[in-house]
A and B are shown apart, each in its own frame.
Chain A
Amino acid sequence: MADAGVTLRRAEARPMAGVAAFAGAGDVQGALAQAFGVAAPARPGRVEGQGVAISCVGAGHWLVAGGEAGLPARLRTLLDGQAAVTDQSDMWDVTCLHGSSVREALARCVQVDLHPSRFGAGDVALTRAGHLDVILWCMADGAVGERFEIAVWRSYAGSLHHALHAAAGAFGVHVAD
């Protein structure tokens, strides 16, 4: 659909794991850096390394996504005694968004400042959208221009999609496969 201002696509399921560092027990960031060749951010942000994305989603708290199905088990071994690892592969419903009006549409639903100078590629926000707790990522630009991803607990997926459609409706919405 050529004139759609916003394109929505439900992301395919991917392995996801929560990593919560035990206070004063080892060096989780160091261990992640060694395993994935990239420094896990200490503040809200997203980096990619060796097929996984590591997002800081709280103090000493990371969400690792991507890679092979055994990701949670691999992290459990890697971080044994240093962090609590939880399998969250089935917990999140992730929607990808892009389009010429994507920032304007998202601004109607989330409460953070989406000006490109404040929220650019690699930024992460834990915020609210349509009365739901969500994680919002600004991804690196792709062939389609600016890209965002938004994650919500699986049971809320229908409500979030409804809110996204309502927010983006005025710009024209295209739902991609």
Chain B
Amino acid sequence: MPASGAESAGIEALWQVPDSQGKAFVDFQNDVTAPDVALAAREGFTAVEHLKRYTTLGMATDQGKTSNVVGLALMAAQTGRSIAQTGTTVFRPPYTPVAVGVFAGHHRGRDFKPTRLTPAHAWAKAQGAVFVEAGEWMRAAYFPQSGEADWQTSTNREVLTVRSACGFCDVTTLGKIDVQGPDAGKFLDFVYANAMAGLAVGRARYGLMLREDGLVFDDGTVARLSPTHFVITTTTANAGRVLRHMEFCRQVLRPDLCVCIEPVTDQWAQFAVAGPHARRVVASVVDPGTDIGNAAFPFMAAAEMPMLGGVAGRLFRISFSGEMAYEVAVPARHGEALAQALHAAGAVPYGLEALNVMRIEKGHPTGAELDGRTSAADLGMGKMLSTKKEFIGRAMAQRPALLDPQRPQLVGIKPVAGGVALQAGAHMVPLDGPADAAHDQGHVSSVAYSATLGHWIGLAFVAGGSRRIGERMRAVNPLQGREAEVEIVSKVFVDPEGSRLHG
């Protein structure tokens, strides 16, 4: 082995090349130079924490790991101290390099966005349901039967079954909030745009909630189970937001009201049972001795009652499909048993696709229409805004721009030529003239093939639309180079008199 001399131990630190004429960078990330350190010393920023803040030395992404020692050495030289005497700035973690994945940990994929399953999920899966994500929830989109080639075929069958016989749909995902207290009615009067305090015990009502700015926030149903006890539903998507909003109203805006609210979505499994045969099906799951006929339990009735042999359930006579319909709720552990019982009684399961087709056939708004830009009047619900009470959004809903009759208003559309498909997102322009932003008069929010009517239908927001029924326009989709001539019609396509609701 070759011998080496002792000179290798004679090294000393060279912090700066003497007499260099070029720029002498200390911190390559933040462009701090040796003269910057000297200036800091002259200005009196000799403490390391001051040096750091005056020059930005060591503030870049490397947190000084490539620059601090040099900078501190230069400051030591400027002030006649050792580096140790000059000191170091306080480190912040991580002290050593850490792979970004460590910060993420297990919070990725399905662990980053949790999945919610309804109590009857396994039953629906066993029935062959195809699921779709609805926020965190997995909801059955449709239930393909043998021989059905695509979702449209299955959906058409499900729609026609509900309209001619009976279907049932898992609506557990709707947010459910329990509202109790001597002032519960007053509180609901405050958060809903329409009147609630006068709702009779044993009755339910559609409820429309506005935001403070007067635009529509959410909708759902309000049922009164006792003078001091209400149960409300929210849309699936807004369940958390509505709860937060109501808790804010309760604690901050109306602490004078004696009321408590509690989210109870997960306590209940709930199914919509709809169709001309719905009463017979529901009667088979409700315990004997309870009359659910039209006289005893009319449209918009609500009550607690025993079902499935002694289970304390709830029954609501509400309808989203336009058919005679009930919503049946049982404590979640009985959800699968309820699905089995409804199926055994002859009801056919239907999914989100069929539900969506039927609500479009009835002109009911959902998230595509309640998109945060629409007023109650835009949706044709302007008359629901009570003039007899104070409620959130009342003042701002009266702003002139929101009362403009030329605002886009919700209407129905149907293609003039049979067999033509419509597309959501298409823009509404006059028959003549260019299809450009200057001639844009609205957009199509929802479309569906209506198996009931045998053609495509849609809901659209059209400028001054409620006064343009019968007019023809073009629904233009420039992205795909497609357009369809459509007629503006009432947004209620099926049973506009609502006679089917009463069975």
Bound complex: CA A84 to CA B177 (Å): 12
Q: How far is the CB of B276 from chain A (nearest CB, A)?
A: 32
A119: chain B residues at CB < 8 Å are none
Number of B interface residues at 8 Å Cβ cutoff, please give it: 32
A21: chain B residues at CB < 8 Å are 260
Q: How far is the CB of A150 from chain B (nearest CB, A)?
A: 14
Whether the Cβ atoms of B260 and A83 lie closer than 8 Å is: yes
Q: Does A101 contact B (CB under 8 A)?
A: no
Per the 8 Å Cβ criterion, residues 86-110 of A in contact with B are 86-92, 108-109
Q: Does A18 contact B (CB under 8 A)?
A: yes
Q: Within the complex, which residue of A22, A132, A153 is in contact with B181, where a contact is CB–CB below 8 Å?
A: A22
Whether the Cβ atoms of B181 and A84 lie closer than 8 Å is: yes
Whether the Cβ atoms of B267 and A88 lie closer than 8 Å is: yes
Query: Interface readout for A50-83 with B: 1 if CB under 8 Å, 0 if not?
Result: 0000000000000000000000000000000101
A108: chain B residues at CB < 8 Å are 105-106
Per the 8 Å Cβ criterion, residues 93-115 of B in contact with A are 105-107, 110-115
**Residue of A at shortest CB range from B116?**
A155
Q: Does B466 contact A (CB under 8 A)?
A: no
Query: Interface readout for A14-42 with B: 1 if CB under 8 Å, 0 if not?
Result: 00001011111100000000000000000
Whether the Cβ atoms of A159 and B267 lie closer than 8 Å is: no
Query: Interface readout for B467-480 with A: 1 if CB under 8 Å, 0 if not?
Result: 00000000000000
Q: How far is the CB of B261 from chain A (nearest CB, A)?
A: 8
Q: Does A136 contact B (CB under 8 A)?
A: no
Q: Within the complex, which residue of B114, B116, B262 is in contact with A130, where a contact is CB–CB below 8 Å?
A: B114
Bound complex: CA A108 to CA B102 (Å): 12
Bound complex: CA A24 to CA B331 (Å): 31
Q: Within the complex, which residue of A83, A109, A159 is in contact with B115, where a contact is CB–CB below 8 Å?
A: A159
Whether the Cβ atoms of A159 and B111 lie closer than 8 Å is: yes
**Residue of A at shortest CB range from B258?**
A22
B119: chain A residues at CB < 8 Å are 154
Q: Does B336 contact A (CB under 8 A)?
A: no
| A130-B111, A156-B116, A163-B111 known; A25+B258 contact, CB < 8 A | yes
A87: chain B residues at CB < 8 Å are 267, 331
Bound complex: CA A20 to CA B259 (Å): 9
Q: Does B117 contact A (CB under 8 A)?
A: yes
B115: chain A residues at CB < 8 Å are 156, 158-159
Q: Within the complex, which residue of B107, B264, B333 is in contact with A131, where a contact is CB–CB below 8 Å?
A: B107
A25: chain B residues at CB < 8 Å are 258
Per the 8 Å Cβ criterion, residues 422-471 of B in contact with A are none
Bound complex: CA A158 to CA B105 (Å): 19
Q: Does B332 contact A (CB under 8 A)?
A: yes
Q: Does B409 contact A (CB under 8 A)?
A: no
Bound complex: CA A94 to CA B289 (Å): 36
Number of A interface residues at 8 Å Cβ cutoff, please give it: 36
Whether the Cβ atoms of B260 and A22 lie closer than 8 Å is: yes
Whether the Cβ atoms of B264 and A162 lie closer than 8 Å is: no
| A84-B260, A108-B105, A167-B106 known; A90+B111 contact, CB < 8 A | no
Bound complex: CA A162 to CA B260 (Å): 33
Whether the Cβ atoms of A159 and B258 lie closer than 8 Å is: no
Bound complex: CA A95 to CA B95 (Å): 37
Bound complex: CA A23 to CA B178 (Å): 17
Q: Does B266 contact A (CB under 8 A)?
A: yes
Query: Interface readout for A129-169 with B: 1 if CB under 8 Å, 0 if not?
Result: 01110000000000000000000011111111011001100
Whether the Cβ atoms of A86 and B262 lie closer than 8 Å is: yes
Q: Does A11 contact B (CB under 8 A)?
A: no
Q: How far is the CB of A166 from chain B (nearest CB, A)?
A: 4
Whether the Cβ atoms of B106 and A90 lie closer than 8 Å is: no
Q: How far is the CB of B112 from chain A (nearest CB, A)?
A: 6
Query: Interface readout for B403-432 with A: 1 if CB under 8 Å, 0 if not?
Result: 000000000000000000000000000000
| A86-B178, A163-B106 known; A153+B266 contact, CB < 8 A | yes
Q: Does B118 contact A (CB under 8 A)?
A: yes
Q: How far is the CB of A71 from chain B (nearest CB, A)?
A: 13
B262: chain A residues at CB < 8 Å are 18, 20, 84, 86
Q: Does A13 contact B (CB under 8 A)?
A: yes
Q: Does B180 contact A (CB under 8 A)?
A: yes
Bound complex: CA A139 to CA B225 (Å): 37
A163: chain B residues at CB < 8 Å are 106, 111
B45: chain A residues at CB < 8 Å are none
Q: How far is the CB of A129 from chain B (nearest CB, A)?
A: 10
Bound complex: CA A67 to CA B259 (Å): 27
| A154-B119, A167-B106 known; A91+B112 contact, CB < 8 A | no
Bound complex: CA A157 to CA B111 (Å): 12
Q: How far is the CB of B186 from chain A (nearest CB, A)?
A: 14
Whether the Cβ atoms of B118 and A155 lie closer than 8 Å is: yes
Q: Does B25 contact A (CB under 8 A)?
A: no
Whether the Cβ atoms of B258 and A90 lie closer than 8 Å is: no
Q: How far is the CB of B423 from chain A (nearest CB, A)?
A: 34
Bound complex: CA A91 to CA B331 (Å): 8
Query: Interface readout for B225-267 with A: 1 if CB under 8 Å, 0 if not?
Result: 0000000000000000000000000000001001110101111
Bound complex: CA A87 to CA B267 (Å): 8
Bound complex: CA A154 to CA B119 (Å): 8
The winner among B110, B172, B260 for most chain A CB atoms within 10 A is B260
Taking A156-B114, A163-B106, A166-B106 as known contacts, 9 extra A-B pairs with beta carbons closer than 8 A to each other, sorted by chain A number, are A20-B180, A20-B262, A130-B106, A153-B116, A153-B266, A158-B115, A159-B114, A162-B111, A163-B111
Q: List 26 A-B contacts (CB under 8 A).
A: A22-B260, A81-B182, A83-B260, A86-B180, A86-B264, A87-B267, A88-B267, A90-B266, A90-B268, A90-B331, A90-B333, A91-B266, A108-B105, A131-B107, A131-B112, A153-B116, A154-B119, A154-B332, A155-B116, A155-B118, A155-B266, A156-B114, A156-B116, A159-B114, A160-B114, A167-B106
Residues of B within 8 A of A (CB): 105-107, 110-119, 137, 172, 178, 180-182, 255, 258-260, 262, 264-268, 331-333
Q: Which are the 5 A-B pairs with shortest beta-carbon distances?
A: A84-B180, A84-B260, A159-B114, A155-B116, A20-B260
